[in-house]
């Protein structure tokens, strides 16, 4: 029996669509890491293509077919293959993919060495347009910041808060997710841990107190480290502090031009 293919029918509104496809698709993947070669995680995926004005719709099932056909090991080479297959299967000039996933690192507490897993968020964004690949790696890193102003004017203590840094980069050669996370954590008052005993809490608190940073300092610190890394050719760093004595958050952004 022949079934009607309404997606392939013509459309007369003369309006091309920039991106059409599937999003919020959860998919098990394996990501390369420095410690164990790969780690298993679950990504939320978005796959889209451009749609010329003359076509009524796209074929949604083909996006899932393409993704499934590449297995569950994800790296930069896979992304180009996925994008090329999307453009071929869907007769498009441009294809986009996004994979966002939790990424885990085992960290040792600074004094006792107690070990625990801390989760971060990583994101792969890739676009293939007329054969040219653009890839952006993003990490979202929780940190601690301590207010320099509060420290300067207070007799006892200073207010601190948990912050979140979002660092997106383009690079010359593949860069480890772990290295970007470390770059961000070294720019804050202190990094975070999932497991701390009392001696560790003392050390982390004192470390933050001795290294106060405004949200402005935080993005500048990250940007300065990115500028010193020749492999990073573009970056955008955002920092948001979830203020402990205000009802608002503090925010800053630096993006490298060019």
> Among 26-30, 117-121, 249-253, whose mean pLDDT is lowest?
26-30
Q: What is the DSSP string of 101-117?
A: EEEEEEEE-TTT--EEE
- C-beta of residue 204 within 8 angstroms of C-beta of residue 144: yes
Residues 165-198 have pLDDT tens digits of: 999 999 999 899 999 999 999 999 999 999 999 9
The residue with greater pLDDT, 70 or 201, is 201
The percent of residues above 90 in pLDDT, for the chain, comes to: 77
| DSSP assignment letter at 12 | -
Dihedral (C-alpha) 202, 203, 206, 208: value to the nearest 10 degrees?
-120
Residue 25 maps to a domain: yes
Rounded CA separation 254/80 (Å):
29
Domain that residue 77 falls in: 6-255
Residue 1 maps to a domain: no
Q: Residue 33: which pLDDT band, with cuts at 50, 70 and 90?
A: confident
Mean of pLDDT values over 119-126 = 97
- C-beta of residue 48 within 8 angstroms of C-beta of residue 87: no
Helix locations, the chain, DSSP H = 60-69, 76-89, 148-153, 177-185, 198-209, 215-227
* pLDDT score recorded for residue 1: 67
Residue 236 maps to a domain: yes
- Total of domains in the chain: 1
* pLDDT score recorded for residue 209: 95
- Helix H or strand E encompassing 144: strand 132-146
Residue 242 maps to a domain: yes
* pLDDT score recorded for residue 258: 62
Residue entry with tokens 């593949």? 174
Listed in sequence order, the residues at least 6 apart from 77 whose beta carbon sits closer than 8 Å to its beta carbon are none
Residue 51 maps to a domain: yes
Residue 193 maps to a domain: yes
- C-beta of residue 252 within 8 angstroms of C-beta of residue 218: yes
Q: What angle do CA 105, 29, 47 make, to 5 degrees?
A: 120
Average pLDDT value over all residues in the chain = 92
Convert 30-61 to b/e letters by CB count within 10 Å (16 or more is b): ebebeeeeebebebebbbbbbbeeebeebeee
* pLDDT score recorded for residue 8: 72
Q: Is 255 helix (H, G, I), strand (E, B) or coil?
A: strand
Query: What tokens does 105 get?
Result: 């690192």
CATH value at residue 166: 3.10.270.10
Residues in the chain: 258
Mean of pLDDT values over 16-44 = 90
* pLDDT score recorded for residue 40: 92
């Amino acid at each position: 029996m022949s079934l009607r293919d309404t997606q392939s029918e013509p459309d007369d509104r003369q309006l091309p669509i920039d991106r059409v496809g599937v999003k919020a698709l959860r998919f098990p993947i394996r990501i390369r890491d420095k410690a164990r070669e790969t780690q298993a995680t679950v990504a939320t995926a978005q796959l889209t293509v451009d749609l010329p004005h003359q076509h009524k719709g796209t074929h949604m099932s083909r996006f899932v077919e393409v993704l499934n056909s590449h297995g569950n090991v994800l790296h930069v080479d896979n992304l180009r293959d996925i994008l090329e297959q999307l453009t071929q299967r869907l007769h498009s000039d441009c294809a986009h993919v996004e994979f966002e996933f939790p990424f885990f690192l085992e960290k040792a507490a600074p004094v006792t060495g107690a070990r625990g897993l801390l989760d971060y968020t990583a994101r792969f964004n890739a676009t293939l347009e007329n054969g040219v690949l653009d890839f952006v790696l993003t990490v979202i890193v929780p940190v601690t910041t301590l207010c320099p102003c509060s420290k300067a004017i207070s007799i006892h203590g200073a207010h601190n808060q948990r912050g979140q840094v979002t660092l997106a980069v383009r690079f010359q050669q593949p860069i480890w997710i772990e290295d970007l996370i470390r770059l961000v954590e070294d720019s804050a008052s202190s990094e975070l841990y999932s497991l701390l005993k009392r001696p560790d809490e003392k050390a982390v608190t004192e470390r933050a107190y001795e290294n106060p940073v405004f949200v402005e300092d935080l993005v500048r610190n990250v940007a300065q480290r990115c500028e010193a890394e020749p492999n990073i050719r573009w970056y955008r760093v955002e920092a948001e502090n979830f203020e402990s004595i205000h009802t608002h958050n503090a925010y800053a952004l630096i993006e490298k031009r060019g």
